[in-house]
A = this chain, B = another copy of it.
Amino acid sequence: MLEDKNKKRKIGNIPYIYPIPMALVGANVHGKPNFELVGDLGLMGIKPALVYISSGNTHYTNVGILENNTFSINFPRTDMLALAEHCGTVSGRDEDKSGLFEVFYGELQTAPLIQECPVNLECKVMKEFSIQHRQIFVAEVVQTYVDDSLVEEKNGNLIFAELAKFDPIIYTLGDRYYRIGKSISVGNNRKRRKTRS
């Protein structure tokens, strides 16, 4: 019986990395903000702050990233899903998406940030490479913006609200979206980062 319970099925070369946060990546293309919906992004390091995005090499957003060497990562709430999907369905070559959101700029001045998204990262490209039909942009985060209602400072430490209040859009393969669930209480995971495992 135990054998059956743990029986594995080969499903082929499917990159079942799950679940992933969906983000709107912003770049100024020829001076105008453009946004694309991206799931292929993530962390490469916390200190220093290192992130990446992977974008098909024909994508319009890439033009702007290469132009300015900057981009933004903006996390929409689940109630922005339809608009986020629109950004992923229509190319900036065919539609001006600059008016879809209230845009603000930060320290880099060329990375368009979305006011309506609770979290925004301003990113400066450190390395770019192509692999297969993808263009990978590895970037340092120069500044991060969070809705004031979702973070507070206590004794010099930042305390973030529960993720359910951010209400991020979570994606998994099979074209399904999820909300975040409940938090899990844990032990001493603070030690984790110090390891050389």
Contact = CB atoms under 8 A, between A and B. Distances in A.
Interface of A: 4-21, 23, 34-37, 39-46, 48-52, 54, 56, 58-61, 73, 75, 78, 81-82, 85, 87-93, 104, 106, 115-116, 119-121, 126-127, 129, 131-134, 136, 138, 140-149, 151, 158-160, 163-164, 166, 168-170, 172-184, 186-192, 195-197
Given A41-B42, A134-B50, A197-B92, A170 B13 contact: no
A9 B145 contact: yes
Contacts of A138: 131, 136
A183 B192 contact: no
A91 to B, nearest CB: 5
Contact of A9 (B4, B18, B147): B147
A10 B170 CA distance: 24
B192 A182 contact: no
A68 to B, nearest CB: 17
Contacts of A104: 8
Nearest to A59: B196
A60 B176 contact: no
Contacts of A15: 43, 45-46, 49-51, 121, 141, 144
Contact of A13 (B129, B136, B143, B178): B143
B181 A180 contact: yes
A178 B187 CA distance: 14
A119 B16 contact: yes
A4 B10 CA distance: 51
Contact of A48 (B92, B132, B148): B132
